[in-house]
Amino acid sequence: MSRAFQGLDSGQLLLICAAGLVAVAGVAHTAATGLDHPEIAVGFGALIAVGELARLTMPGNREVAPIGAAAALGYTLLLDLSQDQLRHSALQVVAVIAVGMIAGALPHLAVGRPPRLDAMARRLLTGALLAFAFRPLADPLFRLTQGPDPTWWPALAVMVVLIAVTLLVDVLIAALLRAEQVRTAFRVAVRDELNMAFPLGAAVAASGVLLALATHSMDLVALLVFAAPLLVTQVAFRKYAGIRATYLQTVRALSRVTEVGGYVEPGHSRRVSRLAVAIGRELGMAEPELLELEYAALMHDIGQLSLRDPIPGGATVLADPEQARRIAELGAEVIKQTGVLDRVADVVRRQCDPISDDPPLSSRIIKVANAYDDLVGGSTDRDRAGAALERIRLAAGSAYDPAAIEALSRVIDRLAAVHRL
C-alpha cells in the first residue's frame, strides 16, 4: 500500500484525507443507524465493486471506473422500488460507495497493483457531493411522482441540474490536480479535462440516471440488465486505451533505432520528447496536440538513418542547414509510410523551416528542444545549460521561435530548481 502514496503531491494528499473522513463518517453513521433496504444497498454495492475491479486507465493516465460510477450515481438518484419509497440517507450512499470501492480494489492490491488513491478519492467525493445535494430532496420529489397526477419531469430536471454541477466540480478538481502534476496552466488543464474526461462523465451520468429509472420499475433485475451493456462498453474503452498505449510504445521503440545504430547519442530522442512536451505545456497546447508533438519529437531524427556517414554526435544543430533539411524530409517520408501519422510527418518535415515560413508550433518547439539537447545532452551542468540557451537566443526570430525559447528557459529553470532540492 505504501507504493500507492509514493509521488503524491499536497493536493492529492488533501483530496485523499477528505475522502477518508467522508467515508469514515458514512460507514460509522450507517453502522449506528442500520441499512435502509439492505438488499438494494448490497446489490448496488456489488455493482460498484465490479466497476472498481474492472477499472481502466485512459489516455493522459486517467484512471476511470465507468461501471462503478454509474452504479453509485444510480443508487444516489433512486427514489423508490415498485412504488415503495426508499429513504436511504446521503451518508448511507457514501458508505455503500466506499465499501464497494474498497471491495473492488482488494483483488488488485492482492496481486500487487495498488489503486490510484487520488482517483478513488475523486470518485468517492464526487458521489458524496451529489448524494448530499440530492438525497434531502428525495422525499418531496417522490411525492411528485405519486398521487392522482404524478409527474417525473421535476425529478428529472433536478437530477440533470445537480449532475451537471457535480460533473463541473469534478472537472475543476481534476484540473487543479493535473495542473500541479504536469506543470501546466489551470485554464489549459480545465480545457483538457473538458475535452478528454467530460464526454465519458456525461455518458456515465446518463447511464446512472437510466439505471435509477429502470430500477424504479424493474426492481433489482435492472442491475443485471444494465451491467451487461456497461461491461461491453468498458471492454471497448479498454481496447481503445490499450491500442493507444501500444502505439506510443511502438513509436518509442522505433525512435531508438537511431540510437542503436549510433546516429544520435543514447537517450537523445527521449530527452527531446520530454523537453518538447514540457515546452508545449508552457505554451498552452491541448493534450491531443501534445500527443502529436510527443510522436514527432521521438522520431524527429529518424531521417538520419539515410546518412552514409553519421553526423558527429548526431547533433543536427551543427550540421549544414541543407543537410538538416534533407534529414527532416527523409524522416517525414518514413513516418508517412505508416498511413496514420500524416500530421506528425508534416511536423517532422517542417522542423528545419525558418520562422519566416511560419512552420507549425510543434515544429518550432522540436527545433528548439533538439538544439538545446544537441548542445547540452544529458548533462546537468548549469553553466553548459546557460551557454546553450544563450546561443539559441542569438538566433531568436530567424532560426528559432522566441516564444518557444522563453518557454524552454522556464522549463530549464524549473528542472534546475528540482535538482537543487
- B/e letters for 195-229, b = 16+ CB within 10 Å, e = fewer, are ebbbeebebbbebbbebbbbbbebeeebbeebbee
For residues 330 and 355, the answer to whether their CB atoms sit within 8 Å is no
Could you say which DSSP state residue 262 is in? Answer: T
Residues 225 and 371 in one domain: no
56 and 200: one domain? yes
In one-letter notation, the amino acid at residue 291 is: L
Residue 209: per-residue pLDDT: 87
| Among candidate residues 181, 216, 245, the one where a domain is terminated | 245
Q: Which of the four pLDDT bands, split at 50, 70 and 90, describes residue 5?
A: low
Give domain status of residue 363, yes or no. Answer: yes
Mean pLDDT, the chain, rounded, equals 85
In this structure, is residue 156 part of a structural domain? yes
Predicted confidence (pLDDT) at residue 147 exceeds the cutoff of 70? no
**Domain boundaries, position 96:** 2-245
Distance between CA atoms of residues 275 and 407, nearest Å: 10
- pLDDT score at 92: 97
The answer to the question of residue 344 being in a domain is yes
| Residue-wise pLDDT tens digits, 280-336 | 998 988 888 998 999 999 988 888 887 777 777 666 776 778 888 888 888 888 888
Whether 172 and 57 share a structural domain:
yes
Q: How many CB atoms lie within 10 A of CB 107?
A: 12
Residue 362: how many other CB atoms lie within 10 Å: 28
Lowest mean pLDDT among 3-12, 130-139, 158-167, 203-212: 3-12
Q: Are residues 188 and 277 in the same domain?
A: no
Same structural domain, 320 and 188: no
Is 59's pLDDT higher than 80?
Answer: no
155 & 74 share domain: yes
| Integer Cα distance of 96 and 75 in angstroms | 9
The closest alpha carbon to 66, from 131, 126, 19, belongs to: 126
| 387 in the same domain as 294 | yes
What Rg do the C-alpha atoms of the chain give, in angstroms? Answer: 26
- 62: β partners: 58
Which ranges of 220-360 does DSSP label H, i.e. alpha helix?
221-255, 257-260, 268-282, 287-298, 321-336, 342-349
Number of separate domains in the chain: 2
Confidence of residue 421 (pLDDT cuts 50, 70, 90): very low
- pLDDT for 126: 94
250, part of any domain: no
5-14, 104-113, 317-326: which is most confident = 104-113
70: CB partners within 8 A, 6+ apart:
51, 204, 207, 208, 211, 226, 230
CA distance 50 to 44: 10
Nearest to 287 by CA among 178, 209, 394: 178
CATH number at residue 267: 1.10.3210.10
**Same-domain check for residues 237 and 261:** no
Last residue of a domain, one of 245, 272, 296: 245
Residue 357 covered by a domain: yes
* Euclidean distance between CA atoms 158 and 166, whole angstroms: 12
d(CA 415, CA 419): 6
Same-domain check for residues 230 and 153: yes
Residues 199 and 345 in one domain: no
Query: In angstroms, rounded to a whole number, what is the distance separating the alpha carbons of residues 211 and 223?
Result: 7
Do both 192 and 266 map to the same domain? Answer: no
Residue 359 has pLDDT above 60, yes or no: yes
Q: Pick from 187, 215, 245: which residue ends a domain?
A: 245
**H or E element: which one contains 80?**
strand 80-81
CB 88 within 8 A of CB 135: yes
Residue 398 included in any domain: yes
Residue 22, pLDDT above cutoff 80: yes
- Are 213 and 306 members of one domain? no
Query: Do residues 284 and 190 make contact, with C-beta atoms less than 8 angstroms apart?
Result: no
Q: Which of 28-37, 136-145, 337-346, 359-368 comes out lowest in average pLDDT?
A: 337-346
The confidence score (pLDDT) of residue 178 equals 85
pLDDT band at 81 (very low <50, low <70, confident <90, very high): confident
